[in-house]
A and B are shown apart, each in its own frame.
Chain A
Amino acid sequence: ILNVEQSPQSLHVQEGDSTNFTCSFPSSNFYALHWYRWETAKSPEALFVMTLNGDEKKKGRISATLNTKEGYSYLYIKGSQPEDSATYLCAFKGQGAQKLVFGQGTRLTINP
């Protein structure tokens, strides 16, 4: 069974501060790495799909980097706002796989 780990499990950040968290995945047989944001009482929403080593993606104040050789991805949030409070999920897809393997998520709370 593939192991996808996210750290930390939960995080409290002051409004206006920047933060980041990690997704670790198998470094062999990589195909794609997905990031999703899951706000309470809503459905998970896709943030990024990353496929190339060294890839960096940005969406507003949120960005992500990818290192497939060492098996990790970082998600960064700049100038956190209350609406950033959510659980952030990463998911790994291997070569030839038809399914995603999800990490357990990082629960982010922004304190006003």
Chain B
Amino acid sequence: DGGITQSPKYLFRKEGQNVTLSCEQNLNHDAMYWYRQDPGQGLRLIYYSQIVNDFQKGDIAEGYSVSREKKESFPLTVTSAQKNPTAFYLCASTTGYSNQPQHFGDGTRLSIL
């Protein structure tokens, strides 16, 4: 079945450590997105990519980095510069057609040790 796979489901980070969240899709979608969710807030966009080897900052990109070397993969690195990384992270993808909905993974919950 086609879908989006995020791993791991739970991740713990020590202070000063970088961690990478994986997002893989086999839907042949061009565009991929990373969102962060905090309690009582909507999904906030961290980074997005419309095409391989290109990506743009979203609304809260500080302290995060991404790469898009392959169409199916869009990993997110939470760097030590992100001072409040504890959150739920969702990856999504969609086709290049404007009115198509986004498809989401199951998410990764990141906590600080």
Residues of A within 8 A of B (CB): 1, 4, 6, 9, 31-32, 34, 36, 42-46, 49, 51, 89, 91, 93, 98-105
Number of A-B contacts defined by CB within 8 Å: 54
Q: What A residues does B90 contact at CB under 8 A?
A: 43-44
Given contacts A43-B106, A43-B107, A98-B50, contact A103 B101 (CB under 8 A): no
CA distance in complex: A4, B59 (Å): 14
**Are B99 and A49 in contact, CB atoms less than 8 angstroms apart?**
yes
Type the 1/0 row for B38-73, where 1 means its CB is closer than 8 Å to any CB of A.
001111110010100000101100000000000000
Given contacts A4-B42, A103-B42, contact A46 B105 (CB under 8 A): no
**Are A43 and B105 in contact, CB atoms less than 8 angstroms apart?**
yes
B13 in the interface (beta carbon within 8 A): no
In angstroms, how far is the closest chain B Cβ from the Cβ of A2? Answer: 10
**Are B102 and A89 in contact, CB atoms less than 8 angstroms apart?**
no
B84 in the interface (beta carbon within 8 A): no
Type the 1/0 row for B84-106, where 1 means its CB is closer than 8 Å to any CB of A.
00000010000000111111111
